[in-house]
Amino acid sequence: MKDFLVIPERLARIKEVLERRQPDLRLFLERVVNYHNVSAILRTADAVGVLHVHYFHEGELPINDAITCGAHRWLLLHREEKVKEALTKLRDQGFQLVATGLFPETIDFREVDYTRPTVIIVGHELEGISETVRELAHAVVKIPMHGMVQSLNVSVATGIILYEAERQRKEKGLYEISHLSEEEIESILEDWAYHRVIKDKARGRLSS
């Protein structure tokens, strides 16, 4: 084990957060392009204990530090080259795929059991999810709307669904137990509290 390069209080806080992370509650961003939306989604993901965020995007995710407040630095981001292959792999691993959209088969987002291993999939701001995602999804959900406008901003919609997942998981006590092995926690700590600190110092930047 390496000597970590953060103060003990900081290290304890990181460990505490990791012990509440929900590695079986994941996000998949399919062509979400606006940096405000991406950054707000990542900040909410961190807040509800998500660890893994998958994304399909040309180039790196457009992230704004001022919006995320550094939250993206405490997530594991996975760039996916092919949507179908990535989601099929997650399905095969036992995840239920829950996409957002307005189709005949769409159900209320609260009808889903988010205590199961789940990937929440959100799509492009204007075009929504692709037909590939629609075909692979176990469920397509919507948030009820009672006004003239029939959709929410993608970051707002994602936040609402994530907090429904948080509510269900909290009721079941899933934040009270660690879902990561000691080896997994140690590996992430080595990255976040050692390698990242060295990189940040090399760039003249303090960790957030």
Positions at the binding site for S-adenosyl-L-methionine: 100, 143, 152
Write out the E strands in 20-117: 25-30, 52-56, 76-79, 96-100, 107-108
Cα–Cα distance measured from residue 16 to residue 51, given in angstroms and rounded to the nearest whole number: 13
CB 30 within 8 A of CB 101: no
Q: Which token pair is 56?
A: 């399909």
Query: Which residues on neighbouring strands pair with residue 30, listed in sequence order?
Result: 56
- Kindly list the distances between the CA atom of residue 163 and the CA atoms of 3, 16, 25, 44, in Å, as whole numbers in the listed order: 36, 20, 12, 9
Q: Quick one: residue 59, left, alpha or beta (phi over 0 = left, psi -120 to 50 = alpha)?
A: left
Cα–Cα distance measured from residue 203 to residue 183, given in angstroms and rounded to the nearest whole number: 29
The contacts of residue 36 (CB under 8 Å, 6+ apart) are: 64, 67, 155
